[in-house]
């Protein structure tokens, strides 16, 4: 499950990209949007026009879970379970989510749950069936503070081994001493790092289009998410190198092997 506490740090974008990248490597993946009333995973994936049933329909027995799943035609083995947009957000209870997750786990390699912002019912629904937790933060005081609170709540709920993604990192600002460094954030939160995603304008474009950034080859957020997905599958992958901007000279240096 993917969570953060604070809103707007990139939970949904992270969920969409990790899910897409996992499905690229041949895994059968289902993404569950648990943000009832404020669903967004569907638009980020570009699947908003294909929703018939939603999570609440499944929970209330209105339909079978397979009817609510939307298959992403581009990837074949990526599925979305959309959240309800107009129903009461208290219509789902943690026990029901847990049962659903158990059922899905039997049929999929990865069940990725996108958690709503905040630490109310939606949060407890999202963690109910979770085995592993990913905490997303940005290197900002407010986001890190909320992440710390969420890590505490995860621990008391028995999810002790949460992994951290630092999103929207700006290497240049950090170099100038105007943004917290990766090690500052890790040091403060004291959990394992899963990856660092650089701030990237391409995310705006990919959200506009409904195509997750990992679909495009190239450096930046997409590459960071691809590496994260590989780490989730147990591979050891180095962090991206933010030291040198791969501009013209950078690339030239790489080609001729100078460092």
Q: Which residues bind other proteins (CB under 8 A)?
A: 139-141, 144-145, 148-149, 152, 156, 174, 176-181, 184, 188
Nearer to other proteins, 111 or 179 (CB): 179
Contacts of 165 (CB under 8 A, 6+ apart): 14, 134, 135, 136, 137, 193, 194, 195, 196, 197, 228
Output the smallest distance, CB 144 to other proteins, in A. Answer: 6
Residues 6+ apart with CB under 8 A from 30: 69, 78, 79, 80, 81, 104, 108, 110, 111, 112
In whole angstroms, the minimum distance from the beta carbon of 184 to other proteins comes to 5
If the CB atoms of residues 109 and 184 are measured against other proteins, the closer one turns out to be 184
**Residue 170: both structure tokens together:** 């700006």
User: In the complex, what is the shortest distance from the CB of residue 176 to other proteins, in angstroms, rounded to a whole number?
Assistant: 6
Contact 241, 248 (CB under 8 A): no
Give the number of C-alpha atoms closer than 13 A to the C-alpha of residue 86, restricted to the C-beta side. 1
* CA neighbor of 213 nearest in space, from 1, 20, 48: 20
Least distance in angstroms from the C-beta of 223 to other proteins = 25
Q: Which is nearer to other proteins, 141 or 258 (CB)?
A: 141
Please, which residue, 64 or 245, has the CB nearer to other proteins?
A: 245
CA 85 → CA 36, 53, 110, 123, 141, distances in Å? 6, 11, 24, 17, 31
Q: Which is nearer to other proteins, 149 or 209 (CB)?
A: 149
Provide, rounded to whole angstroms, the least separation between the CB of residue 150 and other proteins.
11
């Amino acid at each position: 499950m993917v969570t953060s506490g604070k809103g707007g740090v990139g939970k949904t974008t992270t969920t969409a990209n990790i899910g897409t990248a996992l499905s690229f490597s041949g895994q059968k993946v289902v993404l569950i949007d648990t943000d009832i009333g404020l669903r967004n995973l569907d638009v980020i994936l570009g699947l908003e026009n294909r929703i018939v049933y939603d999570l609440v329909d499944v929970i209330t027995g209105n339909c079978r879970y397979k009817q609510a799943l939307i298959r992403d035609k581009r990837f074949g083995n990526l599925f979305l379970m959309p959240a309800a947009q107009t129903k009461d957000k208290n219509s789902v209870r943690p026990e029901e989510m847990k049962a659903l997750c158990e059922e899905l786990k039997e049929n999929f390699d990865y069940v990725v749950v996108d958690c709503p912002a905040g630490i109310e019912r939606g949060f407890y629904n999202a963690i109910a069936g979770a085995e592993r937790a990913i905490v997303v933060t940005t290197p900002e005081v407010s986001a890190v503070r909320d992440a710390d609170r969420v890590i505490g709540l995860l621990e008391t709920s028995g999810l002790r081994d949460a992994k951290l993604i630092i999103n929207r990192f700006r290497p240049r600002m950090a170099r100038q001493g105007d943004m917290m460094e990766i090690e500052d954030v890790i040091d403060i939160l004291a959990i394992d790092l899963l990856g660092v995603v650089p701030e990237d304008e391409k995310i705006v474009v990919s959200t506009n289009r409904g195509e997750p950034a990992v679909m495009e080859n190239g450096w930046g957020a997409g590459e960071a998410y691809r590496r994260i997905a590989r780490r989730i599958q147990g591979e050891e992958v180095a962090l991206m190198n933010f030291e040198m901007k791969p501009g013209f000279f950078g690339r030239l240096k790489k080609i001729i092997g100078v460092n």
